[in-house]
Amino acid sequence: MEEKVNIGWLGTGVMGRHMAGHLLDSGHRLTVFTRTRSKADGLLARGAEWGSSPSEVAAGSEVIFTMLGYPSDVEEVYCGKQGILEGCRPGSILVDMTTSSPELATRISGQVRERSCELIDAPVSGGDVGARNAKLAIMCGGDENSFGRILPLLRDMGENIELFGPSGSGQRVKMSNQILIASTMVGTVEALLYAERAKLDLMRVIGLVGQGAAGCWSINQLGPRMVDGDWEPGFFVKHFVKDIGIALEDSARLGLKLQGLELAREFYQRVVEEGFADKGTQVLLKVLGKMNDRS
């Protein structure tokens, strides 16, 4: 699918607007819909067209991408009144890039196939920085031939892209990603709190340990934001709490008890209770610091 494609895009939040913009930059025709039209203004100013509903967007598109907030949003946008399934044409490929439930991805995939279309679940990792720079990791599940057809489009948005198996597989890889990040974030915050209490230069600490065995995305990308007191979202706390819940639910379905992840959820629920659900995940430093009487 190297030719220019009629693409539908639903969801223009912190990451979605950048991802859709890369497709525009590649010369594809883009029709967008989002519940708050003003969030699409930047894309519309650059040449995207507006669709009045998900079904209208789907009716005029060969490939439809969604980048939404919650599994409930995915179900409504795909299966609800004036949803994608009401408008999608036979042969269309639907690509859900939302971090959502593996069970939901499998279920919607079956409904999509009844419409002679295919669904690829393709959640991403890399946050706002990865979305802005087209360096996302994209984890896919679904039909191999359909994946091959949309791969050139995915390459407009990311660098590391793999198909892991049938529908739901991409979501399960993303859950592995989120399980790892949850514990890493706790470690990053506690490491910085310790270094701060020891009166070390935090930026120098980050610069050194970030290049060694402890180096990770959290310390190198979010550590400096924590030091600067920048709590603005590259990835919302409320969405991370949602992801942790999905991971724990699916883990239980698989017969696993992940106690480290349960502890991370307790910490992030405290973040929500403190009123920071709409801040970035790095705000955990502020909350755990407060619990340690951080001045």
Q: Which CATH number characterizes residue 90's domain? A: 3.40.50.720
Residue 1 domain-assigned?
A: no
Residue 121 domain-assigned?
A: yes
Beta strand ranges found along the chain (DSSP E): 6-10, 29-33, 49-50, 63-66, 93-96, 118-121, 124-125, 136-140, 158-163
Residue 90 domain-assigned?
A: yes
Do residues 108 and 216 both lie within one domain?
no
| Amino acid code (one letter) for 50 | W
Do residues 190 and 163 both lie within one domain?
no
Match 């190198």 to its residue by tokens.
220
Do residues 111 and 44 both lie within one domain?
yes
Q: What is the pLDDT at residue 295?
A: 54
Please list the helix, strand and coil fractions of the chain in percent, rounded to the nearest 5, in that order.
Answer: 55, 15, 30
Do residues 92 and 211 both lie within one domain?
no
Do residues 32 and 149 both lie within one domain?
yes
Q: Among 144, 167, 190, identify where a domain stops.
A: 167
Q: Among 149, 167, 185, identify where a domain stops.
A: 167
pLDDT in single tens digits along all 295 residues of the chain: 458 999 999 999 999 999 999 999 999 999 999 999 999 999 999 999 999 999 999 999 999 999 999 999 999 999 999 999 999 999 999 999 999 999 999 999 999 999 999 999 999 999 899 999 999 999 999 999 999 999 999 999 999 999 999 999 999 999 999 999 999 999 999 999 999 999 999 999 999 999 999 999 999 999 999 999 999 998 999 999 999 999 999 999 999 999 999 999 999 999 999 999 999 999 999 999 999 987 5
Do residues 163 and 23 both lie within one domain?
yes
Match 């489009």 to its residue by tokens.
153
Residue 38 domain-assigned?
A: yes
**Count of beta carbons in the 10 Å neighbourhood of residue 228:** 11
Instruction: Read off the CATH number of the domain in which 285 is found.
Output: 1.10.1040.10
Supply the pTM of this predicted model. 0.93
Number of domains composing the chain = 2
Q: What is the pLDDT at residue 2?
A: 56
Do residues 122 and 185 both lie within one domain?
no
Residue 134 domain-assigned?
A: yes
Q: What is the pLDDT at residue 293?
A: 82
Residue 205 domain-assigned?
A: yes
Both tokens assigned to 139: 């984890």
Spell out the residues 6+ positions from residue 191 whose beta carbon is closer than 8 angstroms to its own.
Answer: 205, 209, 214, 219
User: Which residues are identified as catalytic?
Assistant: 174
* Number of residues assigned to the chain: 295
Do residues 55 and 156 both lie within one domain?
yes
Q: Among 167, 202, 229, identify where a domain stops.
A: 167
Residue 230 domain-assigned?
A: yes
Do residues 13 and 44 both lie within one domain?
yes
Residue 264 domain-assigned?
A: yes
Spell out the residues 6+ positions from residue 206 whose beta carbon is closer than 8 angstroms to its own.
Answer: 192, 219, 220, 223, 224, 227
Spell out the residues 6+ positions from residue 51 whose beta carbon is closer than 8 angstroms to its own.
Answer: 8, 31, 32, 33, 57, 60
Do residues 142 and 185 both lie within one domain?
no
Range of the domain at 159: 6-167
Measure the CA angle with vertex 61, ends 60 and 67; round to 5°.
125
Do residues 261 and 135 both lie within one domain?
no
The answer to whether the beta carbons of residues 67 and 10 sit under 8 Å apart is yes
Do residues 46 and 163 both lie within one domain?
yes
